[in-house]
């Protein structure tokens, strides 16, 4: 795992808390003294997480010693729909990776099925708001320049199973660390640790309409969260009434590229269970 050499200690040690199982395990490991404590915990709220994800925040926050900061760039769902209703404008930061058929988008990778759009939602609704808050906590909000030697250590919740997903921060003053990998903890280790200490296991954190969801995820939403299922079906229907800037085809939330209500979500998966999003699946 690449590391950056520093001659000074970090000005802040923070946890990027996604409200999912892995990053919640890191937060609680620190509370139990099994890893070094954090100065702050930052949660980027897209305002489109399922209710069960927000429920994790309700039970976990009272257990956390560091201050927890909620940052948001607004409601990503409302932002997408607003963009689809505008004409003659470029897409702002935050495009989700909706599935679009090749024809007439011939530039996409596969000839028969189509492909997802580029993913800008994590950057616009998580990465940028978090970095903005970190600069505020350091006392150097934009456009101020950070003094040389001032940097932040940011913990991210990738377990050992996801070693290949680790990445270095492109920002010089921000260094990513991966406590679960350093402790050689896999996903099942996190679940086992949480259970052994009497904590519930948080569900996967992601937006309701995320196009990376597996059929199993969609089925569970349909069968156990009918209100959120209907909200997602309605969201896609509203999306189809407009036109996303720069997208010639019709965007869909399911990889079959038919409306979610008609999508073959009862079919078994033919590939990986869930497509990974670097910052959401934590």
Q: Please report, for the domain that includes residue 176, its CATH number.
A: 3.40.50
Instruction: Please choose, from the candidates 95, 60, 89, 63, the residue with its C-alpha nearest in 3D space to the C-alpha of residue 76.
Output: 95
Asked if the structure places residue 213 within a domain, the reply is: yes
Grouping H, G, I as helix, E, B as strand and the rest as coil, residue 114 is coil
Cα dihedral across residues 185, 275, 42, 1: positive or negative: positive
Helix/strand/coil (H/E/C) assignment for every residue in 155-187: ECCCCHHHHHHCCCCCCCCEEEECHHHHCCCCH
Asked if the structure places residue 102 within a domain, the reply is: yes
Distance between CA atoms of 236 and 23, rounded to whole angstroms? 30
Whole-model pTM above 0.75? yes
Q: Determine contact, residues 156/13, Cβ cutoff 8 Å.
A: no
Residues in contact with 55: Cβ distance below 8 Å, sequence separation at least 6, in sequence order: none
Asked if the structure places residue 80 within a domain, the reply is: yes
Asked if the structure places residue 171 within a domain, the reply is: yes
Asked if the structure places residue 282 within a domain, the reply is: no
The torsion defined by the Cα of 163, 164, 170 and 174, in degrees rounded to 10, comes to 0
* Tens-place pLDDT, residues 134-168: 999 999 999 999 999 999 999 999 999 998 888 88
**φ, ψ (nearest 5 deg) of residue 266:** -85, -5
* Tens-place pLDDT, residues 217-240: 999 999 999 999 999 999 999 999
* Tens-place pLDDT, residues 30-87: 999 999 999 999 999 999 999 999 999 999 999 999 999 999 999 999 999 998 888 6
Look at residue 275 and tell me whether its pLDDT is greater than 70: no
- Read off the tokens for 125: 């609704």
Asked if the structure places residue 276 within a domain, the reply is: no
Instruction: Please choose, from the candidates 53, 55, 22, the residue with its C-alpha nearest in 3D space to the C-alpha of residue 217.
Output: 53
Look at residue 15 and tell me whether its pLDDT is greater than 90: yes
Q: Determine contact, residues 57/210, Cβ cutoff 8 Å.
A: no
Q: Determine contact, residues 234/241, Cβ cutoff 8 Å.
A: no
Geometric angle at alpha carbon 160, from 156 and 163, rounded to 5°: 75
Look at residue 113 and tell me whether its pLDDT is greater than 80: no
Instruction: Please choose, from the candidates 132, 139, 136, the residue with its C-alpha nearest in 3D space to the C-alpha of residue 171.
Output: 132
Q: Determine contact, residues 23/156, Cβ cutoff 8 Å.
A: yes
The domain in which residue 59 lies consists of 12-262
Asked if the structure places residue 257 within a domain, the reply is: yes
pLDDT for 75 equals: 96
Distance between CA atoms of 11 and 32, rounded to whole angstroms? 23
pLDDT for 108 equals: 45
Residue with tokens 């040690």: 13
Q: Determine contact, residues 83/239, Cβ cutoff 8 Å.
A: no
* Range 166-171, long-range pairs (CB < 8 A, 24+ positions): 166/1, 167/278, 168/2, 168/4, 171/131
pLDDT for 111 equals: 37
- Read off the tokens for 258: 């038919």
Asked if the structure places residue 122 within a domain, the reply is: yes
Residues in contact with 201: Cβ distance below 8 Å, sequence separation at least 6, in sequence order: 21, 191, 194, 195
Q: Where residue 280 falls among pLDDT bands split at 50, 70, 90?
A: low
Number of domains the chain is built from: 1
């Amino acid at each position: 795992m690449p590391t950056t050499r520093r001659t000074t200690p970090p000005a802040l040690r923070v946890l990027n808390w996604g409200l999912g199982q892995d990053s919640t395990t890191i937060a609680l490991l620190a509370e139990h003294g099994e890893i070094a404590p954090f100065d702050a915990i930052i949660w980027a709220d897209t305002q489109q997480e399922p209710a069960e994800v927000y429920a994790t925040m309700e039970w976990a926050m009272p257990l956390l010693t560091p201050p927890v900061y909620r940052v948001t760039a607004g409601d990503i769902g409302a932002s997408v729909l607003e963009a689809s209703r505008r004409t003659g404008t470029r897409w702002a930061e935050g495009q989700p990776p909706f599935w679009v058929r090749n024809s007439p988008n011939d530039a996409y990778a596969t000839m028969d099925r189509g492909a997802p759009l580029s993913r800008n939602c994590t950057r616009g609704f998580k990465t940028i708001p978090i970095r903005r808050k970190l600069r505020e906590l350091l006392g150097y909000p934009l456009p101020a320049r950070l003094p040389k030697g001032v940097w932040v250590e940011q913990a991210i919740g990738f377990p050992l199973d996801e070693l290949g997903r680790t990445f270095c921060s492109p920002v010089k003053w921000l260094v990513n660390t991966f406590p679960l990998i350093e402790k050689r903890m896999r996903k099942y280790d996190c679940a086992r640790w949480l259970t052994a200490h009497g904590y519930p296991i948080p569900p996967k954190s992601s937006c309701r309409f995320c196009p990376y969801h597996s059929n199993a995820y969609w089925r569970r939403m349909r069968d156990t969260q009918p209100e959120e299922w209907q909200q997602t079906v309605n969201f896609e229907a509203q999306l189809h009434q407009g036109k996303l800037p720069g997208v010639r085809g019709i965007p869909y939330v399911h990889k079959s590229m038919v409306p979610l209500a008609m999508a073959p979500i009862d079919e078994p998966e033919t590939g990986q269970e869930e497509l990974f999003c670097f910052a959401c699946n934590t």
